[in-house]
A and B are shown apart, each in its own frame.
Chain A
C-alpha cells in the first residue's frame, strides 16, 4: 500500500511532469491565462492521462506482448491516446460548450501532450503492473493539474499587476514558470 502512496507523491511533487521533467509544457503555458479554463483543462487532462495509462497498459499487455509487437507500441499508444482525447473532446463539447470553445486547439492537442505519451511509454519501459501504471498516470495528472492551477492563479494576478513593458505577457509567464520549477526542485529527495 505504501508503495502506491510513494508513487503518488513522487509523481505529483518530486518528479512533477511539468516542472521537473518538463513534459506537457504547451498546455501549461497555453491555457493558464484564466483560472476557470485551467481547471477545465486540468480535469480534461486528468481524465485523459489516467484513462490513457490504463488502456495503453491493456493494449500493451494483452495485444502487443503476446503477439511480439512491442516495436509497435508508440504508434499503438498514439492511437489509444487519440481515441481517448477524441472521446473527451466530444464529451466536453456536449457538457460545456464554453469550456470547449475556450480550450480551443489545446483540447485536441492533449493528444500530442508529451506527458500523456510519456506516461504510457515509461509505464512499459519500467515494466509496471496494472495498478502501478494506473496510479502513475493518475499521479502525473494530479501533478499536472496542481501546477497548472497554481500557475494560472498566479498569471491571473500578474495580468492585473504593474509589470514593466518588456516583461509583460509570455515573458513574465516564463519567468514565473522557471521560479515555480526552482521551487519544485525543493521536493527532490522527499521520497
Chain B
C-alpha cells in the first residue's frame, strides 16, 4: 500500500503545479539550503499508512479570526497531574502570594512535570477538584485567585542556545514543566533524552483531527518561534541527519508561514495528504520515513523522535525567554459557540469561564467535548480547568454530534478493519472484548490500538468500538495488577504457613524435651531411693524428698544440671540445626566424661581414710544414673536432629 510518489516542489511553486498528481499523495519539500536559493529540487518520498478515514474537517469555523486572549478568570485551578507520570508535588501553601511564572509544584521523579503559576495572585486552596479526565474524578489541585496585576517573577532565557550544552537546555525544558502538547502529555524532557542515537527528528504539525486548529493558528502566527524551537530540539538531540515537519495539505497558510522562515536551515517541510489519523505518532513516522514502528517498541529505538509543533513553540519560549508553560492555544469551536476561534488561555482556566467568554450557548450544546470529536471525551462538568494537553473545547449542537446513537448488531462488514490505521482487526477485538477473552485480545494486539476512533466512525451499526477497547485494556491492566497482588499474597501466605509449621514443631520439641527432663529427674530420684534401699539394707526406706532436702549438694547439682539442660534446649530451639548439632555434641561429650568420672569414683574409692558413707554412695549412684539419662536424651535428640523433627519417643 506504500504509495511513494516523489514530487518536486519548491517554496515558490506550491500546490498549483500538482494538478496531474493524484490528490492526496504528493509531497512538497522545501529546502532552503545554500543551493536551494538556486531552485535546487529535492525529492522526498512519502508513504501511506493502512486505513484511515476522511471525516468532515470543520476547521474553517475557527481559523477566520486570529488568536485572541481571554480575560482573566476569577480563579485558576491547576491540577498537579496534567501529564503522564507521577503527579507534581506542591511547594506552596494556602494563602501564599505567587508571582506569574513562579514554580508552585515541582516535578517528582524523572517522569513528571512541574507546574507554574499562570498569573500573579494568592493560593486559596490546595485540595481535590474535578479534573478533565474521562473518569470524572477529582484529583489534587492548586487554586490561585488572580490579583489582576500580572506581576512576573524575574525570568531570563539563554541568549544563544547554540552555546549551551544539551543538558542545560534539557534542564530548562524540565524546569518549565513542558509536557507533550499534542494530547498525550508525556514529559518532553524524557523524550528528548533517549538512550539511542537519534537520526530523525519529526515535528508533528499534521493536526489531523476535525475541528482542531490550535496548531494551525500557532504556525500561522508564530512560525519563527516554532522554527527556533525546532532548532533547539535538533541541537539537544545532537543535530539529527534529517529534521522533518509533517503538515497536512489542508493548512496552506501555515505551510506558507513556516516555509517563509526556513532560512538556510536543513529543516524539511513536508506536506502530507489529509487523512485521519496521520497525526498519530506511529502513523506520521510511517508516512514520512516509510518505516513501521514495531509493536511494543518506541520510535526512539528506531532513532526517531517525534514532537508536537506546540511543544516546539513552548520549548522555544522556555529556553529563549525563560517562560514556563503557563498558557497554551486552545480551539473553542462548534455550532453552539458564537465566537469560535483560537484563544490563548492560561493553564487552569475553568472551562465555564472559557465558555462564557466565547459565547457558548450551553442550552444549545448537545454535549461538551474536551479534545476533538474523534479522540476527545465528554466533560462531566464545566467547572473543570483547561490543562496543558487541552487543544480543543468542542461545543457542538445536536445536529453536529448527535448524542448516543443506538448501537445495532455487528453485521461483519469489515469496514472497521479497512479503516484501522494500526492494521488491527477491530471486529474480532470487539467480539473478544465483549466476551472478555483477554488472552485472545492480547493475541490480536489490542495494545497496539491507538484509540483513534476511526473504526467507530466507519461502523454502520454505530457500535462504540473504541469504548470496548478502552474497557478491555483497562480490565487487562487491572488483571495484571491483581495478579501481582495475588502473587505477593501467595508468597506471604506460604512463608506464614512455613513459619507456623516451624513454630508448631519447635513447640513439640520443647514439650518433649521438658517431658524427658522431668522423667529423668523422676528416674534419678527413684533410682536414688532404690539405690539406698539396695546398698544399705539397714537404712530405713525413706522418701526421696526428705533425702533430697537432706543432701543439699546432690539436689543442687541435679538442679543445676536440669537448668543447664533447659538453657541448652532453649538455645537450641533458637539456633540453626548445625549449631544445635554442635551444641548437642558438646553436651554429649560433657555428659560422657561426667559419667566416666562418676563411674571411676564408684569403682575405685578415694584413697582417703574414711570409707564412703552409704549416703555418699547413693548420691554417686544417683548422679551416675542422672548423667546416663542425660546422655541418652542428648543422643536421642542428636539422632532426631537431621530429620528436622522433634525428638522421637525413644529418648525417654
Are any A and B Cβ atoms less than 8 Å apart in their complex? yes
Q: Is the CB of A159 within 8 A of B410?
A: no
Q: Is the CB of B435 within 8 A of A160?
A: yes
- Interchain nearest-CB distance for A59 vs B (Å): 44
- Interchain nearest-CB distance for A161 vs B (Å): 6
Q: Is the CB of A160 within 8 A of B437?
A: yes
In the complex, what distance in Å separates the CA atom of A156 from the CA atom of B428?
A: 11
Residue B493 lies at the interface, judged by CB distance under 8 Å to chain A: no
In the complex, what distance in Å separates the CA atom of A3 from the CA atom of B234?
A: 69
| B: number of interface residues (CB 8 Å) | 9
List CB contacts (< 8 Å) of B411-433 with chain A.
428, 431-432
Residue A101 lies at the interface, judged by CB distance under 8 Å to chain B: no
Hey, which chain A residues are within 8 Å of B643, CB to CB?
A: none
Q: Kindly supply a per-residue 1/0 record for chain B positions 168-193, scoring 1 wherever the CB is within 8 Å of any chain A CB and 0 otherwise.
A: 00000000000000000000000000
Q: Is the CB of B409 within 8 A of A162?
A: yes
Q: Is the CB of B435 within 8 A of A159?
A: yes
- Interchain nearest-CB distance for B442 vs A (Å): 15
Residue B586 lies at the interface, judged by CB distance under 8 Å to chain A: no
Q: Is the CB of A160 within 8 A of B410?
A: no
In the complex, what distance in Å separates the CA atom of A157 from the CA atom of B425?
A: 13
Q: Is the CB of A160 within 8 A of B432?
A: yes
Closest B residue by C-beta to A156? B440
Hey, which chain B residues are within 8 Å of A161, CB to CB?
A: 431
Hey, which chain B residues are within 8 Å of A160, CB to CB?
A: 431-432, 434-435, 437, 440
In the complex, what distance in Å separates the CA atom of A156 from the CA atom of B439?
A: 12
Interface centre among A157, A159, A160, A162 (most CB of B within 10 A): A160
List CB contacts (< 8 Å) of A135-172 with chain B.
156-157, 159-162
In the complex, what distance in Å separates the CA atom of A155 from the CA atom of B437?
A: 14
Hey, which chain A residues are within 8 Å of B434, CB to CB?
A: 160
Hey, which chain B residues are within 8 Å of A162, CB to CB?
A: 409-410
In the complex, what distance in Å separates the CA atom of A162 from the CA atom of B440?
A: 17
In the complex, what distance in Å separates the CA atom of A162 from the CA atom of B410?
A: 9
In the complex, what distance in Å separates the CA atom of A161 from the CA atom of B434?
A: 9
Closest B residue by C-beta to A162? B409
- Interchain nearest-CB distance for A101 vs B (Å): 18
Closest B residue by C-beta to A157? B431
- Interchain nearest-CB distance for A118 vs B (Å): 35
- Interchain nearest-CB distance for A164 vs B (Å): 11
Closest B residue by C-beta to A159? B435
Hey, which chain B residues are within 8 Å of A157, CB to CB?
A: 428, 431
- Interchain nearest-CB distance for B431 vs A (Å): 4
Q: Kindly supply a per-residue 1/0 record for chain B positions 327-343, scoring 1 wherever the CB is within 8 Å of any chain A CB and 0 otherwise.
A: 00000000000000000
In the complex, what distance in Å separates the CA atom of A157 from the CA atom of B435?
A: 10
In the complex, what distance in Å separates the CA atom of A161 from the CA atom of B430?
A: 10
In the complex, what distance in Å separates the CA atom of A36 from the CA atom of B243?
A: 48
In the complex, what distance in Å separates the CA atom of A191 from the CA atom of B434?
A: 44
In the complex, what distance in Å separates the CA atom of A159 from the CA atom of B439?
A: 14
- Interchain nearest-CB distance for B170 vs A (Å): 48
In the complex, what distance in Å separates the CA atom of A156 from the CA atom of B431?
A: 11
List CB contacts (< 8 Å) of A98-157 with chain B.
156-157
In the complex, what distance in Å separates the CA atom of A162 from the CA atom of B434?
A: 10
Closest B residue by C-beta to A158? B431
Hey, which chain A residues are within 8 Å of B435, CB to CB?
A: 159-160
- Interchain nearest-CB distance for A57 vs B (Å): 42
In the complex, what distance in Å separates the CA atom of A161 from the CA atom of B431?
A: 6
Hey, which chain A residues are within 8 Å of B428, CB to CB?
A: 157
In the complex, what distance in Å separates the CA atom of A121 from the CA atom of B410?
A: 48
Closest A residue by C-beta to B431? A160
List CB contacts (< 8 Å) of B114-154 with chain A.
none
- Interchain nearest-CB distance for B417 vs A (Å): 14
Given contacts A159-B435, A160-B435, A162-B410, 10 further A-B contacts (CB under 8 A): A156-B440, A157-B428, A157-B431, A160-B431, A160-B432, A160-B434, A160-B437, A160-B440, A161-B431, A162-B409
B residues contacting A by CB (< 8 A) are 409-410, 428, 431-432, 434-435, 437, 440
Q: Which 8 A-B pairs have the closest CB atoms?
A: A160-B431, A160-B435, A160-B432, A161-B431, A162-B409, A160-B437, A160-B434, A159-B435
Contacts A/B (CB < 8 Å), 13 sampled: A156-B440, A157-B428, A157-B431, A159-B435, A160-B431, A160-B432, A160-B434, A160-B435, A160-B437, A160-B440, A161-B431, A162-B409, A162-B410
